[in-house]
């Protein structure tokens, strides 16, 4: 085979790979980037429209939707999500997070409390289902007894359209900080060790909301079906 033929073969192979990658990304995006964190208990997704969310809630028996974009009643996506969740008899928990900001210690504590107390099955989502959702899914994994760091890392994967760039590095940085702490302390991961790290040793990078003179965002807003019924 001549050099020209080799280059042509390589070019064709790269073109095929590029097409397959585009098809894969399109498939993941159009199907909502849905995934399973813990079978029968915790699921993850991107932002879904009302009908798609209703179908997912019904098919997986979802009892709690954890929205990491916060309450946004003026945004076009929020009222359909709220209606679909409450109409299905599930609870909506809105947590305002930013993918380009580290969690404050208060936010980290709050997420641990939510993951401990939320009725299962639980659906976790943000806008794209890759960065904020990846972080909270990795935290849920680390809280599960018998889990491994490799399982937590897998929540930040190309399968979920995650790229270790910019905002992705911020979200992934939380897990890396935990791994570095384990190495420095000469310890191995288990769920209680992760809880200890969050409670005593976690320190957010920059930027984070602790640096703001005033934080207008609530840690969580919880709306249950019965709450919505009373308002109506």
The whole-model pTM stands at 0.90
Confidence (pLDDT) at 18: 56
- Give the number of domains in the chain: 2
Residue 15's domain spans which residues? Answer: 1-30
Coil, helix or strand for 122?
strand
Within this chain, do residues 12 and 85 fall inside the same structural domain, yes or no? no
Average pLDDT of the chain?
Answer: 92
Quote the Cα angle for 36-42-44, to 5°.
55
CATH for 189: 3.90.190.10
- The token pair that represents 203 in the structure block: 């320190």
Q: What tens digit of pLDDT does each residue of 154-204 get?
A: 999 999 999 999 999 999 999 999 999 999 999 999 999 999 999 999 999
Burial class (CB in 10 A: 0-12, 13-18, 19+), 117: exposed
Within this chain, do residues 165 and 54 fall inside the same structural domain, yes or no? yes
Task: Judge whether residue 4 has pLDDT over 70.
Answer: no
Within this chain, do residues 68 and 182 fall inside the same structural domain, yes or no? yes
Confidence (pLDDT) at 158: 93
Within this chain, do residues 91 and 25 fall inside the same structural domain, yes or no? no
Q: What tens digit of pLDDT does each residue of 68-105 get?
A: 999 999 999 999 999 999 999 999 999 999 999 999 99
**For the ranges 18-22, 55-59, 77-81, which has the lowest average pLDDT?**
18-22
Within this chain, do residues 6 and 97 fall inside the same structural domain, yes or no? no
Within this chain, do residues 91 and 59 fall inside the same structural domain, yes or no? yes
Within this chain, do residues 70 and 136 fall inside the same structural domain, yes or no? yes
- The token pair that represents 125 in the structure block: 């989502």
The mean pLDDT value for 62-72 works out to: 98
Within this chain, do residues 78 and 134 fall inside the same structural domain, yes or no? yes
Within this chain, do residues 13 and 106 fall inside the same structural domain, yes or no? no
Within this chain, do residues 20 and 40 fall inside the same structural domain, yes or no? no
Within this chain, do residues 97 and 185 fall inside the same structural domain, yes or no? yes
% of the chain residues with pLDDT over 70: 87
Within this chain, do residues 17 and 38 fall inside the same structural domain, yes or no? no
> What is the Cα–Cα distance from 17 to 25, expressed in whole angstroms?
12
Confidence (pLDDT) at 142: 98
- The token pair that represents 207 in the structure block: 């930027």
């Amino acid at each position: 085979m001549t050099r020209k033929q080799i280059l042509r073969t390589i070019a064709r192979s790269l073109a095929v790979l590029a097409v397959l990658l585009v098809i894969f990304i399109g498939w993941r995006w159009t199907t909502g980037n849905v995934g399973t964190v813990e079978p029968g208990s915790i699921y993850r997704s991107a932002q879904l429209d009302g009908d798609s969310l209703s179908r997912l809630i019904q098919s997986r028996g979802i009892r709690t939707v954890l929205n990491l974009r916060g309450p946004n009643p003026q945004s076009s996506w929020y009222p359909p999500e709220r209606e679909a969740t409450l109409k299905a008899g599930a609870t909506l928990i809105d947590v305002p997070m930013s993918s380009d900001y580290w969690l404050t210690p208060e936010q980290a504590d709050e997420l641990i409390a939510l993951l401990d107390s939320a009725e299962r099955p639980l659906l976790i989502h943000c806008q794209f289902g890759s960065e904020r959702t990846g972080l909270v899914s990795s935290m849920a994994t680390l809280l599960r007894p018998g889990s491994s760091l490799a399982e937590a890392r897998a929540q930040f994967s190309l399968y979920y359209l995650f790229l270790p760039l910019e905002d992705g590095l911020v979200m992934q940085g939380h897990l890396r900080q935990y791994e570095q702490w384990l190495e420095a302390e000469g310890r191995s991961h288990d769920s209680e060790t992760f809880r200890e790290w969050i409670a005593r040793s976690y320190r957010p990078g920059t930027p984070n909301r602790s640096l703001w003179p005033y934080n207008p965002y609530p840690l969580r807003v919880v709306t249950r079906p019965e709450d919505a019924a009373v308002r109506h």
